[in-house]
């Protein structure tokens, strides 16, 4: 008897429908899986057979053929265990209820040998796909149920084991669909113990960070050890605007595909990610990849912050792969079977010392590095990568007066209010501009349209570009940063002071690297 089961698989951050056909015929008792399965899918027949027997069911007496369609896309992972098992039992017992239910409910899940249903990766994209294809509901592992329940208008049936799944399809066991309150999940945020009020001094660096966050600009902080670079970076999430629901869903899809939802015990990512990979990370770990391509750190930081501490300590090849994602906001991973695309709209925050020992230019400590050592250290970061970082700011040693002061700095809440107000101005400005969300996203055409400068600002810009010989990219980035500075003042026109401040964030670039 032939039974059809609808399931799904992920390709990038989206899922596509997989139709599983299970046919039980005569002949030698064995299970054959066709439809371009990988090793994990081929091994599923062993798990399915054992799980069926351990669930007190019978396997077919003859040959069982399992076809996974579409047959031209390679199927990966153990997610087809449960649908194959349910389809097999539907063929063995020839239940009309099962076949009818399987037309309306999609099934996904991994099986243990005992018949227990284990959690899977990519349940949220699967639920979204099922709804788009008109499914009434989905049968998923209990541990993934809350994640899938984020999708409205879809019945989420959580199952603990194979017997529950089959009996639900056979209408001999009722399972109430899981329902969640989106408002309570979306408002479920953890209180951060970090606050900018803890940062003593460093007013210039804090101002640069505020400008960077307000306009979504990338920022590089340069300073000696212990000056507060990492301390400032870790507090950036406290001044970022709240995520919108579309942003939260898009970010959650990436974390779901990466299998991080259950690890983090969250059904929805409601806080902007802050990723800080170690400098030993590989290019595949940073960008994504592997035999079965998975999202890397740049995609896991989507709609959040990617913090690279000790920037020159990263392998140069690893840093160079950042150039394309910083420009295109997506990562393309090409493999023989397919090309996978992951979004990566993140804010890059980097920190580094001025030299290998860290004390070049420090008045309190003598630098032990020679000129060649310093140049080799700085040359680990290429010019094209630096050109993609809008703001370069020095973080000097903190004076004793600031350290010993009992006064606290400005609170994150105050800075965040200004950032949100600035972001609202940009949202209104770019509401009809596709793929532009913040000032940092503007291209040359958008800069000409939205960045109106006063005559004094134009003259200053002309003299700066002529005397300092900045590149065309640097010219655009200075104007974009100046646009953000003007927005923080709620001004329509970019003035001379805005250009001067934005230029100072690039002047350190020229002074430091030349």
Structure tokens at 161: 């084991």
Residue range(s) occupied by CATH 3.40.50.300 in the chain: 196-410
Query: What pLDDT was estimated at residue 509?
Result: 53
User: Which of 208, 120, 229 lies closest to 485, judged by CA?
Assistant: 208
Helix (H, G, I), strand (E, B) or coil at 499: helix
Query: What pLDDT was estimated at residue 512?
Result: 54
Alpha helix (H) residue ranges in 278-358: 283-287, 297-300, 316-320, 323-328
Residue range(s) occupied by CATH 1.10.8 in the chain: 442-514
Query: What pLDDT was estimated at residue 71?
Result: 85
User: Which of 34, 56, 120, 127 lies closest to 82, judged by CA?
Assistant: 120
Q: CA 470 to CA 514: how far, in whole Å?
A: 13
Residue range(s) occupied by CATH 3.30.230.10 in the chain: 2-180
Radius of gyration of the chain (CA): 28
| Neighbouring C-alpha atoms within 13 Å toward the C-beta of 112 | 8
Query: What pLDDT was estimated at residue 263?
Result: 62
User: Cβ contacts of residue 229 below 8 Å, gap of 6+?
Assistant: 205, 221, 223, 309, 351, 395
Q: CA 51 to CA 464: how far, in whole Å?
A: 72
CATH class label, 442-514: mainly alpha
Q: Can you say whether the dihedral through the CA atoms of 466, 467, 471, 473 is positive or negative?
A: negative
Query: What pLDDT was estimated at residue 214?
Result: 97
Low-confidence ranges of the chain (pLDDT < 70): 187-190, 262-265, 336-337, 400, 402-404, 507-514
Query: What pLDDT was estimated at residue 26?
Result: 73
Helix (H, G, I), strand (E, B) or coil at 390: coil
What is the pairing mode between strands 294-295 and 288-289?
antiparallel
Query: What pLDDT was estimated at residue 508?
Result: 61
Q: CA 137 to CA 8: how far, in whole Å?
A: 13
Which H or E run includes 140?
strand 137-141
Superfamily of domain 196-410: P-loop containing nucleotide triphosphate hydrolases (3.40.50.300)
Question: DSSP string of 223-287?
Answer: --TTSSHHHHHHTGGGGSPPPPHHHHHHHHHHHHHTT-HHHHT-SS--S--EE---TT--HHHHH
DSSP code of 403? Answer: H
Query: What pLDDT was estimated at residue 265?
Result: 60
Q: CA 330 to CA 12: how far, in whole Å?
A: 11
Write the burial class of residue 274 (CB in 10 Å: 0-12 exposed, 13-18 middle, 19+ buried). buried
Considering the domain 2-180 in this protein, what is its CATH number? Answer: 3.30.230.10
Instruction: Please state whether the predicted TM-score (pTM) of the whole model is above 0.75.
Output: yes
CB 363 within 8 A of CB 297: no
């Amino acid at each position: 008897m032939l039974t059809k089961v609808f399931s799904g698989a992920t390709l990038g951050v989206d899922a596509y429908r997989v139709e599983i056909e299970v046919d039980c015929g005569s002949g030698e008792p064995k299970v054959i899986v066709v439809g371009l399965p990988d090793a994990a899918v081929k091994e599923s027949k062993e798990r399915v057979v054992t799980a069926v027997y351990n669930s007190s069911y019978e396997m077919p007496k003859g040959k069982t053929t399992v076809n996974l369609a579409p047959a031209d896309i390679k199927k990966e992972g153990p997610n087809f265990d449960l649908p194959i098992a349910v389809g097999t039992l539907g063929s063995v017992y020839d239940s009309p209820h099962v076949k009818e239910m399987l037309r309306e409910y999609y099934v996904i899940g991994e099986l243990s040998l005992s018949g227990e249903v284990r959690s899977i990766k990519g349940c949220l994209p699967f639920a979204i796909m099922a709804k788009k294809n008109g499914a009434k509901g989905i049968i998923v592992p209990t541990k993934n149920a809350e994640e899938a329940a984020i999708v409205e208008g879809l019945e989420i049936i959580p199952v603990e084991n194979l017997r529950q799944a089959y009996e639900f399809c056979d209408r001999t066991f009722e399972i109430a669909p899981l329902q969640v309150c989106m408002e309570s999940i979306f408002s479920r945020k953890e209180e951060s113990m970090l606050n900018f009020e803890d940062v003593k001094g460093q007013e210039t660096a804090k101002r640069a960070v505020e400008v960077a966050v307000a306009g979504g600009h990338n920022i590089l902080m340069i300073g000696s050890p212990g000056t507060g670079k990492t301390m400032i970076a870790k507090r950036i999430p406290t001044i970022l605007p709240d995520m919108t629901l579309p942003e939260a869903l898009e970010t959650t899809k990436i974390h779901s595909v990466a299998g991080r939802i259950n690890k983090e015990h969250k059904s929805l990512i409601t806080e902007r990610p802050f990723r800080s990979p170690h400098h030993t990370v590989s290019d595949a770990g940073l960008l994504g990849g592997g035999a079965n391509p998975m999202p890397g750190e740049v995609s896991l930081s989507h709609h959040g912050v990617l913090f690279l501490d000790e920037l020159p300590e990263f392998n140069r090849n690893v840093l160079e792969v950042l150039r394309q994602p910083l420009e295109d906001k997506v990562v393309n991973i090409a493999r023989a079977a397919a090309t996978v695309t992951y979004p990566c709209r993140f804010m890059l925050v980097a920190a580094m010392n001025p030299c290998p020992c860290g004390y070049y230019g420090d008045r309190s400590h003598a630098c032990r590095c020679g000129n060649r050592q310093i140049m080799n250290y700085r040359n680990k970061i290429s010019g094209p990568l630096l050109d993609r970082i809008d703001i370069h700011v020095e973080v000097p040693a903190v004076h004793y007066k600031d350290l010993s002061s009992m006064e606290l700095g400005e609170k994150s809440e105050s800075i965040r209010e200004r950032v949100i107000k600035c972001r609202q101005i940009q949202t209104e400005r770019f509401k009809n501009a596709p793929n532009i969300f913040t000032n940092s996203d503007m291209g040359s055409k958008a800069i000409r349209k939205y960045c109106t400068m006063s005559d004094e600002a134009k003259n200053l810009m002309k003299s700066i570009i002529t005397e300092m010989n900045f590149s065309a990219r640097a010219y655009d980035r200075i104007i974009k940063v100046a646009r953000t500075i003007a927005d923080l003042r709620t001004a329509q026109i970019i003035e001379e002071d805005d250009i001067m401040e934005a230029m100072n964030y690039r002047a350190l670039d020229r002074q430091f690297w030349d």
